[in-house]
């Protein structure tokens, strides 16, 4: 019996199921979580999906109105984590995972620590949502328009609109297949990548004004403070995409974006061709992908900047 058979067996047995993902969830995390939620509902299960905070951008996804901030269930029969590399990244709601009778991790990060009882991890996939298409086919679950919409939102987000190097020929085959099923690719693309809130636009403007260059222009650095977010009435996710601005500048290899929070600093990094930012972020207590990674640091913005630039200097 292979891992997917074991996972399906546990799903069929479970009376109570919870779906979880990483903190500060992006489109792949939310899309994967909701795709799985809709799929489990289709086969007669009644799962909970718990995501305390997520960007308004993804409120159009089917099932998003059923996302819970927390649960009063003390012990689920089955907990399934999607798009999450470590149990630490589940953060404040890791207890739902740890307390569950059976724990499953479905992911695509090469840094996944195999923290589940059952782990289905495919680092070659550019998005966790792409893995779920394979999983659902194996489980003989029909990919409806609702499920396909969630999956496509995940794929588009984590591939940057199909522009990152992790995109495979399979990715385009899957998208073509979803298009044939009547899923509006251009509409979803526009919603997840091209539509900005006013607060996001204002934060981008602040971050661009602060942008600094280091290492002969190969490194771009910027930041926003809690005060900045308050000044523009920012909500969860309104900082998304700021890190991309630096990466898109000619000559920049690594873009660094630091966001001040109540718990320290959230660091986002992107690279273009040769720097493995996942390795850099691992040294800072985080992780991620070769070209996109992040970390949480318990320090000030200035201290974070100094530590990050010191690590980047050795690999640039």
Region 118-137: mean pLDDT is 96
Task: Note the pLDDT of residue 195.
Answer: 83
Q: Which residues of 23-40 are buried (b: 16+ CB within 10 A; e: fewer)?
A: bbbbbbbbbbbbbbbbbb
CATH architecture of 3-194: Alpha-Beta Complex (3.90)
- pLDDT at residue 152 greater than cutoff 70: yes
Task: Note the pLDDT of residue 91.
Answer: 67
Residues of the chain with CATH 3.90.1640.10: 3-194
Task: Note the pLDDT of residue 151.
Answer: 97
Least Cα distance to 134 among 36, 27, 37 occurs for: 36
Answer yes or no: CATH 3.10.310.30 is held by domain 198-313. Answer: yes
Task: Note the pLDDT of residue 289.
Answer: 84
Least Cα distance to 251 among 305, 300, 214 occurs for: 214
Task: Note the pLDDT of residue 89.
Answer: 86
Residue the block writes with tokens 């399934």: 80
Residues of the chain with CATH 3.10.310.30: 198-313
The residues, ordered by sequence, that sit 6+ positions from 64 with a Cβ below 8 Å of its Cβ are 30, 34, 58
Task: Note the pLDDT of residue 24.
Answer: 84
């Amino acid at each position: 019996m292979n891992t997917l058979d074991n996972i399906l067996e546990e799903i069929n047995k479970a009376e109570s199921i919870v779906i979880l993902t990483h903190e500060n969830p992006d489109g792949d995390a939310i899309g994967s979580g909701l795709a799985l939620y809709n799929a489990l509902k289709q086969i007669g299960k009644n799962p909970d999906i718990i995501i305390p905070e997520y960007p308004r951008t993804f409120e159009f996804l089917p099932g998003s109105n059923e996302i819970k901030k927390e649960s009063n269930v003390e012990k689920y029969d089955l907990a399934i984590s999607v798009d999450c590399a470590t149990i630490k990244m589940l953060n404040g709601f890791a207890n739902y995972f740890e307390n569950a009778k059976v724990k499953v991790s479905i992911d695509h990060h090469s840094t996944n620590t195999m923290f589940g009882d059952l782990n289905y991890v495919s680092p070659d996939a550019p998005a966790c949502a792409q893995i779920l298409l394979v999983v659902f086919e194996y489980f003989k679950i029909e990919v409806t328009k609702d499920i396909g919409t969630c999956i496509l939102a995940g794929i588009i987000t984590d591939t940057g609109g199909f522009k990152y190097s992790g995109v495979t020929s399979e990715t385009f085959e899957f998208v073509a297949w979803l298009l044939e099923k009547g899923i509006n690719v251009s509409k979803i693309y526009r919603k997840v990548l091209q539509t900005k809130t006013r607060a996001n636009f204002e934060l981008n403007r602040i971050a661009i004004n602060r942008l600094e260059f280091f290492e002969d222009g190969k490194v771009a650095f910027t930041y926003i403070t809690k005060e900045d977010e308050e000044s523009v009435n920012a909500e969860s996710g309104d900082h998304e995409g700021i890190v991309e601005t630096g990466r898109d500048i000619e000559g920049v290899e690594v873009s660094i974006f630091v966001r001040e929070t109540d718990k320290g600093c959230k660091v986002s990094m992107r690279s273009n061709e040769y720097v493995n930012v996942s390795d850099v972020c691992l040294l800072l207590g985080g992780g991620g992908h070769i070209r996109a990674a992040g970390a949480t640091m318990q320090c000030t913005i200035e201290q974070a900047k100094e530590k990050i630039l010191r690590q980047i200097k050795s690999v640039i």
